Protein backbone atom coordinates (compact mmCIF):
# COMPACT_ATOMS: atom_id res chain seq x y z
CA UNK A 1 0.00 0.00 0.00
CA UNK A 2 1.67 3.25 -1.01
CA UNK A 3 2.15 5.94 1.55
CA UNK A 4 -0.54 8.51 0.92
CA UNK A 5 0.05 11.60 2.96
CA UNK A 6 -2.90 13.33 4.56
CA UNK A 7 -5.71 10.89 3.92
CA UNK A 8 -7.81 9.44 6.69
CA UNK A 9 -6.10 6.23 7.70
CA UNK A 10 -9.15 4.01 7.32
CA UNK A 11 -10.01 4.75 3.71
CA UNK A 12 -11.14 7.58 1.53
CA UNK A 13 -14.51 5.89 1.13
CA UNK A 14 -15.64 6.23 4.76
CA UNK A 15 -18.40 3.63 4.79
CA UNK A 16 -18.37 4.32 8.53
CA UNK A 17 -15.31 3.11 10.35
CA UNK A 18 -14.45 6.78 10.25
CA UNK A 19 -13.65 7.19 13.92
CA UNK A 20 -11.62 4.03 14.15
CA UNK A 21 -8.90 4.99 16.61
CA UNK A 22 -11.28 6.68 19.00
CA UNK A 23 -14.37 4.53 18.63
CA UNK A 24 -14.80 3.87 22.33
CA UNK A 25 -14.97 7.48 23.36
CA UNK A 26 -17.09 8.50 20.39
CA UNK A 27 -19.58 5.89 21.46
CA UNK A 28 -20.10 7.81 24.65
CA UNK A 29 -21.57 10.66 22.63
CA UNK A 30 -25.18 10.94 21.43
CA UNK A 31 -26.17 8.37 18.78
CA UNK A 32 -24.89 8.50 15.24
CA UNK A 33 -26.66 11.03 13.09
CA UNK A 34 -27.25 9.62 9.63
CA UNK A 35 -29.03 12.13 7.42
CA UNK A 36 -32.17 10.86 5.80
CA UNK A 37 -31.78 10.29 2.08
CA UNK A 38 -33.99 12.35 -0.14
CA UNK A 39 -36.53 10.84 -2.48
CA UNK A 40 -34.23 11.82 -5.34
CA UNK A 41 -31.27 10.00 -3.85
CA UNK A 42 -33.26 6.88 -3.10
CA UNK A 43 -34.17 6.56 -6.76
CA UNK A 44 -30.55 6.55 -7.85
CA UNK A 45 -28.76 3.26 -8.36
CA UNK A 46 -25.54 4.35 -6.66
CA UNK A 47 -23.60 7.40 -5.62
CA UNK A 48 -20.97 7.22 -8.34
CA UNK A 49 -23.61 7.36 -11.04
CA UNK A 50 -25.31 10.14 -9.15
CA UNK A 51 -22.10 12.15 -9.02
CA UNK A 52 -21.55 11.59 -12.72
CA UNK A 53 -25.05 12.87 -13.44
CA UNK A 54 -24.43 15.95 -11.36
CA UNK A 55 -21.08 16.51 -13.01
CA UNK A 56 -22.72 17.83 -16.17
CA UNK A 57 -24.25 21.06 -14.88
CA UNK A 58 -21.10 21.77 -12.93
CA UNK A 59 -18.91 21.16 -15.94
CA UNK A 60 -21.16 23.35 -18.04
CA UNK A 61 -20.85 26.17 -15.52
CA UNK A 62 -17.06 25.80 -15.55
CA UNK A 63 -16.88 25.85 -19.33
CA UNK A 64 -18.98 29.01 -19.46
CA UNK A 65 -16.86 30.66 -16.83
CA UNK A 66 -13.56 29.66 -18.39
CA UNK A 67 -14.76 31.04 -21.69
CA UNK A 68 -15.08 34.35 -19.89
CA UNK A 69 -11.66 33.75 -18.30
CA UNK A 70 -13.23 33.95 -14.86
CA UNK A 71 -14.19 31.58 -12.14
CA UNK A 72 -17.51 29.73 -12.21
CA UNK A 73 -20.68 31.43 -11.05
CA UNK A 74 -22.84 28.32 -10.98
CA UNK A 75 -26.37 29.59 -10.63
CA UNK A 76 -28.62 26.50 -10.56
CA UNK A 77 -25.54 24.26 -10.44
CA UNK A 78 -26.68 22.26 -7.43
CA UNK A 79 -30.32 21.84 -6.57
CA UNK A 80 -31.53 21.73 -3.00
CA UNK A 81 -32.41 18.39 -1.41
CA UNK A 82 -35.31 17.95 0.99
CA UNK A 83 -34.11 16.62 4.33
CA UNK A 84 -34.21 17.54 7.98
CA UNK A 85 -30.81 19.16 8.30
CA UNK A 86 -31.71 21.60 11.07
CA UNK A 87 -28.90 20.40 13.35
CA UNK A 88 -26.26 21.16 10.75
CA UNK A 89 -27.74 24.32 9.22
CA UNK A 90 -26.33 27.69 10.30
CA UNK A 91 -26.63 31.00 8.49
CA UNK A 92 -23.50 31.69 6.46
CA UNK A 93 -21.24 34.47 7.76
CA UNK A 94 -19.92 35.76 4.45
CA UNK A 95 -22.51 36.53 1.80
CA UNK A 96 -24.68 39.33 0.52
CA UNK A 97 -28.35 39.39 -0.38
CA UNK A 98 -29.31 40.27 -3.94
CA UNK A 99 -32.66 41.21 -5.49
CA UNK A 100 -35.10 38.41 -6.24
CA UNK A 101 -34.10 36.26 -3.23
CA UNK A 102 -30.70 35.66 -4.76
CA UNK A 103 -27.45 35.70 -2.79
CA UNK A 104 -23.78 36.16 -3.58
CA UNK A 105 -21.40 34.06 -1.50
CA UNK A 106 -18.36 35.98 -0.25
CA UNK A 107 -16.52 33.10 1.36
CA UNK A 108 -14.23 32.07 -1.50
CA UNK A 109 -13.11 33.79 -4.69
CA UNK A 110 -15.72 32.02 -6.80
CA UNK A 111 -18.38 34.38 -5.45
CA UNK A 112 -21.17 32.05 -6.48
CA UNK A 113 -24.44 33.83 -7.24
CA UNK A 114 -27.12 31.43 -6.10
CA UNK A 115 -30.87 31.43 -6.72
CA UNK A 116 -33.43 30.40 -4.15
CA UNK A 117 -33.38 26.64 -3.43
CA UNK A 118 -29.99 26.22 -5.08
CA UNK A 119 -26.45 25.67 -3.88
CA UNK A 120 -23.01 27.02 -4.64
CA UNK A 121 -20.26 25.15 -6.42
CA UNK A 122 -19.05 23.53 -3.19
CA UNK A 123 -22.47 21.85 -2.71
CA UNK A 124 -22.65 22.60 1.01
CA UNK A 125 -24.17 26.11 0.97
CA UNK A 126 -27.79 26.64 0.11
CA UNK A 127 -30.06 29.61 -0.53
CA UNK A 128 -33.40 29.28 1.26
CA UNK A 129 -35.73 32.18 0.51
CA UNK A 130 -32.88 34.65 0.21
CA UNK A 131 -30.97 33.54 3.29
CA UNK A 132 -27.73 31.64 2.71
CA UNK A 133 -26.84 28.69 4.92
CA UNK A 134 -24.00 26.31 5.49
CA UNK A 135 -25.38 22.78 5.74
CA UNK A 136 -22.27 21.25 7.29
CA UNK A 137 -21.79 22.92 10.65
CA UNK A 138 -20.76 20.10 13.04
CA UNK A 139 -21.54 17.55 10.28
CA UNK A 140 -18.43 15.39 10.46
CA UNK A 141 -17.94 12.69 7.81
CA UNK A 142 -14.35 11.73 8.65
CA UNK A 143 -12.37 11.82 11.86
CA UNK A 144 -9.15 10.31 13.00
CA UNK A 145 -6.29 10.73 15.44
CA UNK A 146 -3.26 11.53 13.29
CA UNK A 147 0.34 12.47 13.96
CA UNK A 148 0.78 16.18 13.26
CA UNK A 149 3.60 15.15 10.89
CA UNK A 150 0.95 13.60 8.65
CA UNK A 151 -0.72 16.96 7.84
CA UNK A 152 2.23 17.61 7.22
CA UNK A 153 3.52 20.05 9.83
CA UNK A 154 7.21 19.64 10.64
CA UNK A 155 7.73 22.79 12.75
CA UNK A 156 4.57 22.64 14.83
CA UNK A 157 4.27 20.49 17.96
CA UNK A 158 6.46 17.66 16.64
CA UNK A 159 5.50 14.23 17.85
CA UNK A 160 2.03 15.32 19.01
CA UNK A 161 -1.34 14.04 17.83
CA UNK A 162 -4.11 15.99 16.12
CA UNK A 163 -7.78 15.06 16.28
CA UNK A 164 -8.57 15.49 12.59
CA UNK A 165 -12.02 16.05 11.12
CA UNK A 166 -13.69 16.89 7.81
CA UNK A 167 -17.10 17.55 6.33
CA UNK A 168 -18.22 16.85 2.78
CA UNK A 169 -17.46 19.32 -0.01
CA UNK A 170 -14.74 21.39 -1.63
CA UNK A 171 -14.51 24.61 -3.61
CA UNK A 172 -12.13 23.22 -6.25
CA UNK A 173 -11.92 19.92 -8.10
CA UNK A 174 -8.31 18.75 -8.32
CA UNK A 175 -7.81 15.94 -10.79
CA UNK A 176 -5.45 14.24 -8.35
CA UNK A 177 -7.62 14.52 -5.24
CA UNK A 178 -6.85 11.66 -2.86
CA UNK A 179 -10.01 12.28 -0.83
CA UNK A 180 -12.41 12.88 -3.72
CA UNK A 181 -15.11 10.63 -2.31
CA UNK A 182 -15.75 13.16 0.43
CA UNK A 183 -14.48 16.35 -1.22
CA UNK A 184 -16.67 15.96 -4.29
CA UNK A 185 -19.74 14.70 -2.46
CA UNK A 186 -22.77 16.53 -1.15
CA UNK A 187 -23.55 16.33 2.56
CA UNK A 188 -26.50 14.02 1.91
CA UNK A 189 -24.28 11.54 0.10
CA UNK A 190 -22.32 10.55 3.20
CA UNK A 191 -23.06 9.24 6.67
CA UNK A 192 -22.18 11.85 9.24
CA UNK A 193 -21.92 12.43 12.96
CA UNK A 194 -23.16 15.50 14.76
CA UNK A 195 -20.06 16.81 16.51
CA UNK A 196 -20.59 20.34 17.85
CA UNK A 197 -17.54 22.40 18.85
CA UNK A 198 -17.53 21.57 22.56
CA UNK A 199 -17.88 17.85 21.91
CA UNK A 200 -15.07 18.01 19.38
CA UNK A 201 -12.76 19.64 21.92
CA UNK A 202 -13.76 17.05 24.53
CA UNK A 203 -13.02 14.19 22.15
CA UNK A 204 -9.66 15.65 21.23
CA UNK A 205 -8.67 15.90 24.87
CA UNK A 206 -10.01 12.44 25.70
CA UNK A 207 -7.82 11.07 22.93
CA UNK A 208 -4.69 12.81 24.27
CA UNK A 209 -4.46 15.14 21.29
CA UNK A 210 -2.65 18.46 21.51
CA UNK A 211 -4.58 19.96 18.62
CA UNK A 212 -7.71 19.80 16.53
CA UNK A 213 -7.07 19.66 12.78
CA UNK A 214 -9.49 20.60 9.99
CA UNK A 215 -8.33 18.61 7.02
CA UNK A 216 -9.02 15.83 4.44
CA UNK A 217 -11.60 17.84 2.43
CA UNK A 218 -11.52 21.69 2.35
CA UNK A 219 -11.94 23.65 5.58
CA UNK A 220 -12.80 26.82 3.68
CA UNK A 221 -16.24 25.48 2.84
CA UNK A 222 -16.99 24.67 6.48
CA UNK A 223 -15.44 27.87 7.78
CA UNK A 224 -18.17 28.61 10.35
CA UNK A 225 -17.52 25.24 12.01
CA UNK A 226 -13.75 25.79 11.89
CA UNK A 227 -13.87 29.13 13.66
CA UNK A 228 -16.52 28.13 16.22
CA UNK A 229 -14.66 24.91 17.00
CA UNK A 230 -11.33 26.75 17.21
CA UNK A 231 -12.76 28.95 19.95
CA UNK A 232 -13.91 25.89 21.90
CA UNK A 233 -10.56 24.23 21.36
CA UNK A 234 -8.72 27.26 22.67
CA UNK A 235 -10.96 27.38 25.73
CA UNK A 236 -9.97 23.74 26.34
CA UNK A 237 -6.26 24.43 26.04
CA UNK A 238 -5.95 22.89 22.58
CA UNK A 239 -4.35 24.31 19.50
CA UNK A 240 -6.09 24.39 16.11
CA UNK A 241 -4.59 23.70 12.71
CA UNK A 242 -6.07 24.12 9.25
CA UNK A 243 -4.98 22.18 6.16
CA UNK A 244 -6.31 24.12 3.20
CA UNK A 245 -6.04 24.91 -0.48
CA UNK A 246 -5.93 28.60 0.48
CA UNK A 247 -8.77 29.47 -1.90
CA UNK A 248 -10.65 31.82 0.41
CA UNK A 249 -11.45 35.52 0.49
CA UNK A 250 -9.42 37.88 2.63
CA UNK A 251 -12.10 38.73 5.22
CA UNK A 252 -12.88 35.14 6.23
CA UNK A 253 -9.19 34.28 6.12
CA UNK A 254 -8.32 37.08 8.54
CA UNK A 255 -11.16 36.02 10.84
CA UNK A 256 -9.84 32.46 10.71
CA UNK A 257 -6.29 33.57 11.46
CA UNK A 258 -7.52 35.28 14.63
CA UNK A 259 -8.77 31.93 15.95
CA UNK A 260 -6.41 29.20 14.74
CA UNK A 261 -2.73 28.53 15.46
CA UNK A 262 -1.26 27.12 12.26
CA UNK A 263 -2.18 26.90 8.60
CA UNK A 264 -0.80 24.60 5.94
CA UNK A 265 -1.53 25.77 2.42
CA UNK A 266 -1.29 23.61 -0.68
CA UNK A 267 0.47 25.67 -3.31
CA UNK A 268 -0.46 23.28 -6.08
CA UNK A 269 1.66 24.89 -8.80
CA UNK A 270 3.21 28.20 -9.70
CA UNK A 271 1.13 28.47 -12.84
CA UNK A 272 -2.31 29.90 -13.49
CA UNK A 273 -2.77 27.43 -16.37
CA UNK A 274 -2.31 24.52 -13.97
CA UNK A 275 -4.76 26.03 -11.52
CA UNK A 276 -7.29 26.47 -14.33
CA UNK A 277 -6.85 23.06 -15.98
CA UNK A 278 -5.96 20.69 -13.13
CA UNK A 279 -7.36 22.36 -10.02
CA UNK A 280 -10.32 24.40 -11.31
CA UNK A 281 -9.17 27.33 -9.26
CA UNK A 282 -6.98 30.41 -9.40
CA UNK A 283 -3.34 30.99 -8.46
CA UNK A 284 -3.35 34.67 -7.48
CA UNK A 285 -5.72 34.39 -4.48
CA UNK A 286 -3.50 31.64 -3.08
CA UNK A 287 -0.40 33.82 -3.34
CA UNK A 288 -2.25 36.74 -1.74
CA UNK A 289 -3.44 34.50 1.08
CA UNK A 290 0.00 33.08 1.77
CA UNK A 291 1.17 36.64 2.36
CA UNK A 292 -1.85 37.35 4.57
CA UNK A 293 -1.27 34.29 6.77
CA UNK A 294 2.36 35.27 7.20
CA UNK A 295 1.45 38.87 8.05
CA UNK A 296 -1.14 37.69 10.54
CA UNK A 297 1.62 35.89 12.39
CA UNK A 298 0.19 32.40 12.07
CA UNK A 299 2.52 29.45 11.72
CA UNK A 300 2.62 28.60 8.00
CA UNK A 301 3.92 25.62 6.06
CA UNK A 302 3.56 25.01 2.32
CA UNK A 303 2.98 21.75 0.50
CA UNK A 304 3.76 21.34 -3.19
CA UNK A 305 2.35 18.07 -4.51
CA UNK A 306 4.69 17.25 -7.37
CA UNK A 307 2.82 15.74 -10.30
CA UNK A 308 5.02 14.21 -13.03
CA UNK A 309 5.07 16.24 -16.27
CA UNK A 310 2.48 18.75 -15.01
CA UNK A 311 4.22 20.91 -12.39
CA UNK A 312 7.74 19.50 -12.07
CA UNK A 313 9.79 21.88 -14.22
CA UNK A 314 12.93 23.39 -12.68
CA UNK A 315 12.05 26.87 -13.97
CA UNK A 316 8.66 26.83 -12.26
CA UNK A 317 10.20 25.74 -8.97
CA UNK A 318 12.93 28.36 -9.30
CA UNK A 319 10.35 31.12 -9.84
CA UNK A 320 8.20 29.85 -6.99
CA UNK A 321 11.14 29.63 -4.61
CA UNK A 322 12.20 33.18 -5.44
CA UNK A 323 8.65 34.38 -4.79
CA UNK A 324 8.49 32.54 -1.46
CA UNK A 325 11.85 33.89 -0.34
CA UNK A 326 10.94 37.45 -1.29
CA UNK A 327 7.33 37.58 -0.14
CA UNK A 328 7.25 35.15 2.78
CA UNK A 329 10.86 34.74 3.84
CA UNK A 330 13.41 31.94 3.47
CA UNK A 331 12.38 30.13 6.64
CA UNK A 332 8.87 28.99 5.65
CA UNK A 333 8.96 25.18 5.43
CA UNK A 334 8.19 23.84 1.95
CA UNK A 335 7.30 20.19 1.43
CA UNK A 336 7.70 18.63 -2.03
CA UNK A 337 5.41 15.64 -1.71
CA UNK A 338 5.15 12.57 -3.85
CA UNK A 339 2.10 12.16 -6.09
CA UNK A 340 0.32 8.81 -6.35
CA UNK A 341 -1.99 8.05 -9.30
CA UNK A 342 -5.55 8.58 -8.08
CA UNK A 343 -8.99 9.85 -9.09
CA UNK A 344 -8.72 11.46 -12.57
CA UNK A 345 -4.93 11.21 -12.94
CA UNK A 346 -4.41 7.47 -12.90
CA UNK A 347 -2.57 7.69 -16.20
CA UNK A 348 0.50 9.24 -14.58
CA UNK A 349 3.13 7.34 -12.58
CA UNK A 350 4.08 8.10 -8.98
CA UNK A 351 6.54 10.94 -8.78
CA UNK A 352 10.05 9.53 -9.20
CA UNK A 353 12.09 10.18 -6.07
CA UNK A 354 14.95 11.70 -8.15
CA UNK A 355 12.47 14.31 -9.40
CA UNK A 356 11.67 15.33 -5.84
CA UNK A 357 15.37 15.46 -5.02
CA UNK A 358 16.04 17.62 -8.09
CA UNK A 359 13.30 20.10 -7.15
CA UNK A 360 14.48 20.25 -3.56
CA UNK A 361 17.96 21.08 -4.85
CA UNK A 362 16.51 23.93 -6.93
CA UNK A 363 14.66 25.35 -3.91
CA UNK A 364 17.74 24.91 -1.70
CA UNK A 365 19.86 26.75 -4.24
CA UNK A 366 17.42 29.67 -4.19
CA UNK A 367 17.97 30.04 -0.47
CA UNK A 368 14.95 28.35 1.09
CA UNK A 369 16.13 26.97 4.42
CA UNK A 370 13.65 24.22 5.27
CA UNK A 371 12.84 22.20 2.16
CA UNK A 372 11.46 18.71 2.72
CA UNK A 373 10.55 15.68 0.66
CA UNK A 374 7.28 14.06 1.65
CA UNK A 375 5.54 10.72 1.10
CA UNK A 376 8.92 8.99 0.83
CA UNK A 377 9.31 7.42 4.30
CA UNK A 378 12.88 7.17 5.49
CA UNK A 379 14.24 9.72 3.03
CA UNK A 380 16.91 11.94 4.65
CA UNK A 381 15.05 15.01 3.39
CA UNK A 382 12.36 14.26 5.97
CA UNK A 383 14.77 15.57 8.58
CA UNK A 384 15.30 19.12 9.80
CA UNK A 385 18.85 20.43 9.63
CA UNK A 386 20.17 23.64 11.13
CA UNK A 387 20.70 26.13 8.27
CA UNK A 388 23.73 27.58 10.08
CA UNK A 389 25.80 24.59 11.29
CA UNK A 390 23.95 21.81 9.34
CA UNK A 391 23.50 19.79 12.52
CA UNK A 392 20.64 17.27 12.48
CA UNK A 393 17.96 19.01 14.54
CA UNK A 394 14.98 16.68 14.12
CA UNK A 395 15.28 13.17 12.72
CA UNK A 396 12.07 11.65 11.37
CA UNK A 397 11.08 8.28 9.96
CA UNK A 398 7.74 8.70 8.27
CA UNK A 399 5.50 10.25 10.92
CA UNK A 400 7.75 9.23 13.81
CA UNK A 401 10.25 11.49 15.58
CA UNK A 402 13.46 9.52 16.14
CA UNK A 403 15.53 12.25 17.78
CA UNK A 404 15.35 15.94 18.57
CA UNK A 405 18.41 18.11 19.02
CA UNK A 406 16.42 21.22 19.73
CA UNK A 407 16.64 23.20 22.96
CA UNK A 408 14.14 26.02 23.59
CA UNK A 409 13.60 26.44 19.86
CA UNK A 410 17.30 26.57 19.04
CA UNK A 411 19.76 24.19 17.46
CA UNK A 412 21.37 22.42 20.42
CA UNK A 413 24.79 22.57 18.76
CA UNK A 414 25.12 26.21 17.61
CA UNK A 415 22.06 27.87 19.27
CA UNK A 416 20.72 29.10 15.93
CA UNK A 417 16.95 29.74 16.29
CA UNK A 418 14.80 27.24 14.39
CA UNK A 419 11.41 28.83 13.62
CA UNK A 420 8.30 26.99 14.67
CA UNK A 421 5.84 26.31 17.48
CA UNK A 422 7.62 23.75 19.58
CA UNK A 423 5.46 23.44 22.69
Q: Which residues bind ligand SF4 (CB under 6 A)?
A: 105, 107-108, 110-112, 120-122, 125, 171, 221
CB of 32 to ligand SF4, least distance (A): 27
User: What does DSSP assign to residue 330?
Assistant: T
CB of 303 to ligand SF4, least distance (A): 21
Q: How many CB atoms lie within 10 A of CB 353?
A: 14
Residue nearest to ligand SF4 (CB): 120
- Counting beta carbons within 10 angstroms of the beta carbon of residue 148, is it exposed (0 to 12), middle (13 to 18) or buried (19 or more)? buried
Cβ-based nearer residue to ligand SF4, 255 or 322: 255
Cβ-based nearer residue to ligand SF4, 114 or 230: 114
CB of 327 to ligand SF4, least distance (A): 25
CB of 95 to ligand SF4, least distance (A): 7
Q: What is the dihedral of CA 256, 257, 263, 269, to 10 degrees?
A: 80
Residue 346, helix vs strand vs coil: coil
CB of 284 to ligand SF4, least distance (A): 16
Cβ-based nearer residue to ligand SF4, 125 or 338: 125
CB of 109 to ligand SF4, least distance (A): 7
419 alpha-carbon distance from chain centroid: 23
Cβ-based nearer residue to ligand SF4, 138 or 337: 138
Give 384's strand partners: 394
Cβ-based nearer residue to ligand SF4, 153 or 214: 214
- Separation between Cα atoms, residue 245 and residue 287, nearest integer Å: 11
Give 166's strand partners: 142
Contact by Cβ (8 Å): 383, 333 = no
Cβ-based nearer residue to ligand SF4, 123 or 379: 123
168 alpha-carbon distance from chain centroid: 12
- Separation between Cα atoms, residue 144 and residue 354, nearest integer Å: 32
CB of 265 to ligand SF4, least distance (A): 16
Cβ-based nearer residue to ligand SF4, 107 or 168: 107
Q: How many CB atoms lie within 10 A of CB 276?
A: 17
- Separation between Cα atoms, residue 223 and residue 133, nearest integer Å: 12
Closest C-alpha to 178, from 321, 374, 44, 333 = 374
Cis check: omega of the bond before 152, within 30 degrees of 0? yes
Contact by Cβ (8 Å): 62, 81 = no
Cβ-based nearer residue to ligand SF4, 44 or 75: 75
User: What does DSSP assign to residue 279?
Assistant: I
CB of 18 to ligand SF4, least distance (A): 23
Q: What's the half-sphere exposure (Cβ side, CA atoms, 13 Å) at 311?
A: 25
- Separation between Cα atoms, residue 136 and residue 183, nearest integer Å: 13
Cβ-based nearer residue to ligand SF4, 222 or 372: 222
Cβ-based nearer residue to ligand SF4, 107 or 212: 107
CB of 16 to ligand SF4, least distance (A): 26
What are the start-end ranges of the E strands in 136-210?
139-140, 142-147, 161-166, 193-194
CB of 75 to ligand SF4, least distance (A): 11
Number of H helices, E strands in the chain: 11, 23
Amino acid sequence: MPHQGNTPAVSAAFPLPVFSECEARIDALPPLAVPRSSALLSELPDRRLFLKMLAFPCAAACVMALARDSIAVPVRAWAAVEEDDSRFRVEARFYEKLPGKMVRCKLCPRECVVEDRNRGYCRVRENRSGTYYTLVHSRVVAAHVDPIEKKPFFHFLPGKQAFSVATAGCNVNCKFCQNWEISQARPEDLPARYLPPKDLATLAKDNQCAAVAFTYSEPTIFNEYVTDAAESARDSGLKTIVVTNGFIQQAPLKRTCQRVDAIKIDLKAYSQDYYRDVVRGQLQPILDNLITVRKQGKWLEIVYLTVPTLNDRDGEIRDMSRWIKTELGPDVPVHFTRFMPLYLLKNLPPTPVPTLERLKAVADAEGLQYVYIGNVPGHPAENTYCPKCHNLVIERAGFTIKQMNLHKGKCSKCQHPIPGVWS
